[in-house]
Amino acid sequence: MSNTNEQESKTFTAFLRQVFRGALNAVGGFLNNLGIKPNVITLLGLVGNFTAGVLIAMGELTWGGLLAMIVGPLDALDGTMARLRGEDGQYGAFIDSVTDRYSEIALYGGLLVYSIRTGTWQDALLVFFAAVGSIMVSYIRARAESLDYHAKNGLLTRAERYIVLIPGIIFRHPNISLWILAILTHFTALQRFWHVRQQAKRKSVQKSQKKEQENG
């Protein structure tokens, strides 16, 4: 699986973690020393994104986008704090993944309400396709990992999706971002699907070779 790990290490999300690793460690260590737990940071991020979604639904796109941008780094910070505390286990990763999905859905939910109130049914449909694509990217990874495959690769991981979505909201042109997401998230989902398919084929070949060796 070295080739798989090499591909996944080249994602933009992995690059950002590497670049900001020092800063995240410093801030995470400081918050740990204050006695603040990682789950508190996770909850703050979730509440912040839901608040941003409400602001967006009310038509306050700039404020909602700015709030979402501010709380976005908390997603990386809670994981850093857990790692520094030696508590970065599977359950913590599970909580993080669940709250990430709720946070993302909150923003799309706000955009959906905004589109229904101020736009057309085509605008609402655009939000729907972008949201479905984003959810499928995450679902394919989760489902793949449950079957012992890897699927962190692809063009638009969560960090890239936020980088595309947030500016469009802040500058009150969400449809530009949504068009990009509606297309490229589904492309990313297909990338991950193909990546898992290739792994499955390699495993099948290895299994056949092993069986031949045992029979031979």
Whole-number pLDDT of residue 13: 74
Q: How does 163-201 read in b/e, with b if 16+ C-beta sit within 10 Å?
A: ebbbebbbeeebbebbebbbebbbebbebbeebbeebee
Whole-number pLDDT of residue 196: 97
Whole-number pLDDT of residue 44: 95
Amino acid at 80: T
Q: Which of 175, 170, 179 is nearest to 56 (CA)?
A: 170
Cα torsion through 54, 184, 178, 106, rounded to 10: -10
Whole-number pLDDT of residue 10: 62
| CA distances for 129 relative to 112, 132, 175, angstroms | 11, 5, 12
Q: What tokens appear for 182 in the block?
A: 């509606």
Per domain, the residue ranges of the chain are 2-205
User: From first to last of its 216 residues, what are the pLDDT tens digits of the chain?
Assistant: 445 555 555 677 777 778 888 999 999 999 999 999 999 999 999 999 999 999 999 999 999 999 999 999 898 899 899 989 888 778 888 888 899 999 999 999 999 999 999 989 999 999 999 999 999 999 999 999 999 999 999 999 999 999 999 999 999 999 999 999 999 999 999 999 999 999 999 999 988 888 878 776
Which helix (H) or strand (E) segment holds residue 192: the answer is helix 174-215
CATH code for residues 2-205 = 1.20.120.1760
Distance CA 144, CA 64 (A): 33
Whole-number pLDDT of residue 1: 47
Distance CA 191, CA 144 (A): 13
